[in-house]
Amino acid sequence: MKIRLTKGQISVLIIFAVLIIDQIIKVLVKTNMYWHESIRITDWFYIYFTENNGMAFGMEIFGKFFLTTFRIIAVGLIGWYIHRIVKRGFKTGYIVCISLILAGALGNIIDSVFYGVIFNESTHSQIATFMPEGGGYSQWFYGKVVDMFYFPIIETNWPSWMPFVGGEHFIFFSPIFNFADAAISCGIIALLLFYSKYLNDAYHAGIKHNENADK
């Protein structure tokens, strides 16, 4: 007997799957690796444990509490939007993309809200433990986001004849990111490639709604 999932069930399944995978990876890395420890998988792929206070791919903009609060508000809005597009019967692929973005944002929110309380500090000489006796390394909403995927696909030096950067070391794709970041990026890229019409329709619908509200 075939089990046919509704679009809402598919969305929920994706969100939970991404969250579970993301948190399993992060906890394993956090509780088994020293800070900035690196495990070579291939010449172009490393598990490199680091943490950041900012947004995706280690960017740090504004304060930590602001970023965490912003993430929570954004997730609430995205969750409301998913509920709306499921009810309106949007394409499954579009719902999947939005669900990936929501799941990725939720994954990093968990780090920011809880990790500072449930883990102690990761250092070059100390591996973090879960629920340490002395308490966590920070307080609620001030946890650091765990990153680990590093893909230095090309590592070389710029030619000496090049202006400004000649002779300097160059790494193609140097950001270190996590599974949640990857889910967000995949969702956004797929939206832009395959569902730009939906984005345009949503944008124009919003403008029309605002114009009607002003009348």
* 181 part of the active site: yes
111 is catalytic: no
Choice among 111, 181, 201, 214 that is catalytic: 181
Q: What is the 3-state secondary structure (H, E, C) of the chain?
A: CCCCCCHHHHHHHHHHHHHHHHHHHHHHHHCCCCCCCEEEEECCEEEEEEEECCCHHHCCCCCHHHHHHHHHHHHHHHHHHHHHHHHCCCCHHHHHHHHHHHHHHHHHHHHHHHHHHHECCCCCCCCCCECCCCCCCCCCCCCCEEEEEECCCEEEECCCCCCCCCCCEEEECCCEECHHHHHHHHHHHHHHHHCHHHHHHHHHHHHHHHHHHHC
Which one is catalytic: 22, 43, 111, 147? 147
Residues carrying an active site annotation: 147, 181
